[in-house]
């Protein structure tokens, strides 16, 4: 699964394009198409019986829990924006840090993803938590809608299809650092789409998808965040959802308290000014108190701090 060159582990990935067997149309990760439908149904072959299975974790997380790699929620990969227009990015650097011996960089290509896309991605990860992610997985669209808490209505079926298509065409590449089996920090290069393959069988209303094998390394060294899904579902605003997930990925201390300007960048807000964003952020702090996330904006430093 990995090739090691000069101490750098390369995660193998498939082609970044998708080809429909029915039409031959290519679905590119940096496509600017406004068509958010998912690819037509097609038949797919099962992997060889002797192929090594790949799982996200050795021990699956609980049914009421959702898990996602820390890097995915500490950058504007899933923004809090709500306007209809979605920009297209090509090789945009969304995360770059250079701490000693632990460099990280993520470049993003694709249409802007938001919190509803993250909701869908969380459920796809959850469904795959106890399965082999190297093969195609099947789930009914109705079951996925139920898991999301969305009504089974035409609007939400279309919304689900649009989210799936954006995830299919969302490509990330770069490198992260994880401890290897000897406890030594090692650099891992990666390049994959958030969904590697996706098919829709309209007759049976099945969604068939495959996650990228490269996700496995992101879950190493316990570098992921766990949340209770019922907590996320009661939060109404995208900013509240982002703050809940972001602060769950950190320890509760003010040593590295985040400035409001930095929070605005990390969550992908398109607010007209830091002042406007600060007001919006402040309105959403109370709803997090019931989840033991008691934050306030320190006026002197203009940073988010725990009380």
Q: What is the pLDDT along the chain (307 residues), one digit of tens a residue?
A: 433 333 333 333 333 333 332 322 223 333 334 444 444 433 333 444 455 678 999 889 999 999 999 999 999 999 999 877 899 999 999 999 887 778 999 999 999 999 999 999 999 999 999 999 999 999 999 999 999 999 999 999 999 999 999 999 999 999 999 988 788 889 999 999 999 999 987 767 899 999 999 999 999 988 999 999 999 999 999 999 999 999 999 888 898 899 999 999 999 999 999 999 999 999 999 999 989 999 999 999 999 999 9
Is residue 85 within 8 Å of 239, Cβ to Cβ?
A: no
Q: Which of 82, 95, 94 has the alpha carbon at shortest distance from 239?
A: 82
Is residue 86 within 8 Å of 111, Cβ to Cβ?
A: yes
Q: What is the pLDDT of residue 125?
A: 98
Q: Which of 125, 102, 115 has the alpha carbon at shortest distance from 76?
A: 115
Q: What is the pLDDT of residue 50?
A: 52
Residues 6+ apart with CB under 8 A from 195: 124, 164, 167, 168, 170, 209, 210, 211, 212
The mean pLDDT of the chain is 84
Q: What is the pLDDT of residue 51?
A: 56
What does the DSSP 8-state code read for residue 3? E
Residue 281 CA neighbour count, 13 Å, CB half: 30
What does the DSSP 8-state code read for residue 72? H
Q: What is the pLDDT of residue 181?
A: 79
Q: How far apart are CA 195 and CA 157, in angstroms?
A: 18
Q: What is the pLDDT of residue 108?
A: 98
Is residue 69 within 8 Å of 49, Cβ to Cβ?
A: no
Q: Residues for the chain: how many in total?
A: 307
What's the token pair of residue 234? 């009661």
> Which residues, listed in sequence order, are joined to residue 114 by a DSSP beta bridge?
79
Residue 258 CA neighbour count, 13 Å, CB half: 18
Question: pLDDT (tens digit, 9 = 90+) per residue, 62-93?
Answer: 999 999 999 999 999 999 998 778 999 999 99
Q: Beta strand pairing status for 113-114 and 78-79?
A: parallel
Q: Which of 239, 87, 96 has the alpha carbon at shortest distance from 170?
A: 87
What value, to the nearest 5°, has the Cα angle with vertex 265 and ends 259 and 267?
A: 100
pTM for this model (two decimals): 0.82
Residue located via tokens 């809090």: 80
Cα Rg of the chain (Å, integer):
19
SS3 call for 110 = strand
């Amino acid at each position: 699964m990995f090739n090691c060159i000069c101490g750098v582990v390369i995660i193998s990935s498939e082609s970044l394009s998708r080809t429909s067997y029915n039409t031959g149309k290519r679905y590119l990760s940096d496509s600017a198409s406004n068509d958010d439908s998912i690819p037509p149904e097609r038949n797919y072959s099962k992997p060889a019986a002797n192929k090594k299975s790949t799982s996200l974790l050795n021990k699956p997380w609980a049914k009421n829990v959702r898990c996602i790699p820390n890097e995915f929620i500490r950058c504007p990969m899933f923004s809090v924006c709500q306007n209809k227009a979605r920009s297209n990015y090509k090789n945009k650097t969304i995360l770059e840090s250079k701490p000693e011996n632990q460099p990280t960089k993520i470049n993003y290509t694709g249409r802007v993803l938001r919190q509803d896309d993250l909701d869908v991605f969380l459920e796809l990860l959850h469904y795959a938590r106890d399965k082999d992610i190297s093969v195609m997985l099947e789930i009914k669209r109705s079951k996925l809608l139920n898991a999301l808490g969305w009504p089974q209505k035409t609007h939400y079926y279309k919304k689900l299809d649009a989210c799936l298509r954006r995830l299919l065409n969302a490509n990330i590449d770069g490198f992260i650092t994880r401890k290897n089996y000897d406890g030594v920090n090692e650099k891992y290069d990666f390049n994959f789409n958030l969904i590697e393959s996706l098919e829709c069988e309209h007759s049976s209303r099945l969604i068939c998808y495959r996650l990228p094998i490269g996700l496995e390394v992101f879950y190493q060294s316990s570098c992921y965040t766990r949340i209770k899904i019922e907590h996320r579902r009661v939060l109404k605003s995208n900013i509240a959802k982002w703050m809940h997930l972001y602060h769950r990925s950190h320890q509760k201390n003010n040593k590295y308290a985040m400035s409001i300007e930095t929070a605005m960048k990390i969550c992908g807000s398109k607010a007209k000014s830091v002042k406007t964003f600060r007001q919006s952020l402040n309105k959403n702090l109370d709803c997090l108190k019931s989840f033991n996330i008691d934050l306030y904006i320190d006026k002197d430093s203009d940073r988010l701090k725990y009380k």
